[in-house]
């Protein structure tokens, strides 16, 4: 049994102060709920919101999501509805229920489109789609965000960069490259008009522009006959230089996380080219000992690529040490450098499969002071 009490208190002056100004204080609705055994629970949206926030803070995500949803269900006219929907989405993300989280964010974006929280819900919706690997939906979400006229420079760069990442993960490298080029061009055209809180998404766009060329490099085949193989390797060498140039541009943005990622990828490019040369098809006329002599000679001729890769990783590690950075890319540079040194040791060592060099997903919490990236439930009232 539930009885909704909309409480409106009227505070008037004393009898001898009839001219005193009346004060109207509007209170949140309260609910009496009868339970078996005769007990009665008195609740209101504010206390439930506080209880849900405490559960979230303790990572009791199931309890938090259920309590936030209860606020939305029992207090549909409360000012806590939109924050509760948003926080329920965060709690459901904590439980890895991405579909349910997306539903909460979509309700804010559609049913509460005029709210101040709607834009953050849009971004979170795109992020959740990406986490669920529904990259087509993620790209479409960011495209819808970009139609808005009220975006700050940082908001627009984020949407453009994240749309490009979604397209890249769809294997649509051409569309992704256009998105990253558009983002960087827009930034250059407007960087003097508005100060960015962080250059995170600028660096990310520059990094992924390098990854577009890197991915095209990976897709190029190396084929016989020998004249075709020479053309294929030359095409790979050209793309290696294009990717290297773009990664260097990403490092120049001076965002340390993306700079170390770009440094790692440059070293990996030379390692991959070494493997492509050593692993290229052997002319069919070479058999037995002649084949082994041929392969050994190829390794001698291209070992400078390994030395180049080692030098790049060493510089990447020195840069990280100088700025006090320790992240996954630093670890990977260190690990790959150790592998490369082993390859340079004397002996019949053939090409080894390189460590996977796929780019990282855009980090969940870029260093921007936005409530959508806050690990705590934002109290948006």
> Tell me, what's the pLDDT at 339?
95
Mean pLDDT computed over 194-221: 96
Q: Which residue has the higher pLDDT, 376 or 35?
A: 35
Report in angstroms the alpha-carbon separations of 264 from 70, 226, 349: 48, 32, 23
pLDDT tens-digit readout, 76-110: 999 999 999 999 999 999 999 999 999 999 999 99
Mean pLDDT computed over 228-253: 98
Both structure tokens of 1: 């049994």
**DSSP E strand boundaries for 182-325:** none
pLDDT tens-digit readout, 347-366: 654 445 555 455 554 444 34
Both structure tokens of 136: 């087509």
* pLDDT of 317 over the 90 cut: yes
Mean pLDDT computed over 278-282: 95
Number of Cβ atoms within 10 Å of the Cβ of 329:
22
Long-range pairs for 191-196 at CB < 8 Å and ≥24 separation? 191/153, 193/153, 194/152, 194/153, 194/154, 196/153, 196/154, 196/157
Report yes or no: 72 and 104 within 8 Å, Cβ to Cβ. Answer: no
Q: Identify the CA nearest to 380 among candidates 78, 31, 56.
A: 78
Mean pLDDT computed over 271-278: 96
Mean pLDDT computed over 320-342: 95
Residue 219, phi-psi category: left (phi > 0), alpha (psi -120 to 50), beta (remainder): alpha
* pLDDT of 379 over the 50 cut: no
> Tell me, what's the pLDDT at 37?
58
> Tell me, what's the pLDDT at 346?
73
Kindly compute the dihedral angle of the four CA atoms of residues 371, 167, 161, 362, in this order, to the nearest 10 degrees.
Answer: 60
- The SS3 assignment for 75 reads coil
* pLDDT of 10 over the 50 cut: no
Confidence class for position 43, pLDDT limits 50, 70, 90: confident
What's the rounded Cα separation, in Å, for the pair 108 and 84? Answer: 10
Which segments of the chain does DSSP mark as H helices, in order? Answer: 45-57, 61-74, 81-94, 98-111, 118-131, 135-145, 153-169, 173-190, 200-219, 226-252, 256-278, 288-323, 328-343
Task: Report pTM.
Answer: 0.82
Residue that has been written with the tokens 């100060």 in this structure:
195
Report yes or no: 328 and 363 within 8 Å, Cβ to Cβ. Answer: no
Confidence class for position 15, pLDDT limits 50, 70, 90: very low
* pLDDT of 135 over the 70 cut: yes
Mean pLDDT computed over 47-72: 96
> Tell me, what's the pLDDT at 345?
85
365 — phi, psi (to 5°)? -120, 75
Q: Mean pLDDT across the chain, nearest whole number? A: 85
* pLDDT of 218 over the 90 cut: yes
């Amino acid at each position: 049994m539930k009885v909704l009490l909309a409480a409106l208190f009227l505070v008037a002056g004393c009898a001898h102060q009839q001219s005193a100004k009346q004060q109207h204080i509007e209170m949140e609705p309260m609910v009496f709920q009868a339970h078996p055994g005769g007990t009665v629970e008195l609740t209101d949206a504010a206390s439930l919101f506080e209880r849900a926030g405490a559960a979230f803070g303790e990572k009791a995500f199931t309890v938090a999501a259920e309590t936030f949803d209860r606020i939305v269900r029992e207090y549909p006219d409360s000012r806590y509805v939109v924050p509760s929907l948003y926080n329920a989405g965060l709690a459901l993300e904590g439980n890895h229920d991405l579909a349910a989280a997306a539903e909460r964010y979509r309700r804010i974006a559609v049913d509460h489109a005029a709210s101040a929280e709607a834009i953050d819900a849009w971004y979170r919706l795109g992020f959740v789609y990406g986490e669920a690997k529904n990259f087509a939906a993620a790209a479409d979400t960011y495209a819808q965000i970009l139609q808005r006229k009220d975006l700050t420079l940082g908001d627009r760069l984020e949407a453009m960069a994240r749309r490009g990442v979604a397209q890249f993960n769809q294997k649509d490298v051409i569309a992704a490259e256009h998105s990253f080029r558009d983002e960087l061009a827009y930034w250059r055209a407007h960087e003097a008009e508005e100060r960015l809180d962080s250059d995170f998404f600028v660096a990310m766009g520059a990094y992924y522009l390098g990854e577009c060329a890197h991915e095209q490099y990976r897709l190029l085949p190396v084929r016989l006959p020998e004249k075709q193989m020479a053309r294929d390797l030359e095409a790979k060498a050209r793309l290696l230089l294009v990717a290297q140039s773009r990664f260097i541009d990403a490092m120049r943005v001076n965002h340390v996380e993306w700079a170390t990622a770009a440094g790692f990828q440059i070293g990996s490019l030379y390692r991959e080219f070494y493997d492509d040369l050593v692993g290229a098809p052997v002319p069919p006329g070479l058999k037995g000992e002649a084949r082994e002599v041929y392969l050994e000679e190829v390794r001698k001729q291209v070992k400078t690529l390994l030395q180049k890769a080692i030098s790049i990783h060493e510089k990447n590690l020195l840069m990280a040490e100088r700025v006090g950075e320790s992240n996954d890319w630093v670890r990977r540079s260190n690990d790959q450098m150790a592998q490369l040194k082993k390859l340079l040791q004397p002996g019949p060592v053939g090409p080894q499969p390189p460590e996977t060099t796929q780019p990282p997903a855009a980090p969940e919490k870029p260093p921007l002071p936005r409530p959508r990236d806050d690990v705590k439930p934002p109290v948006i009232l």
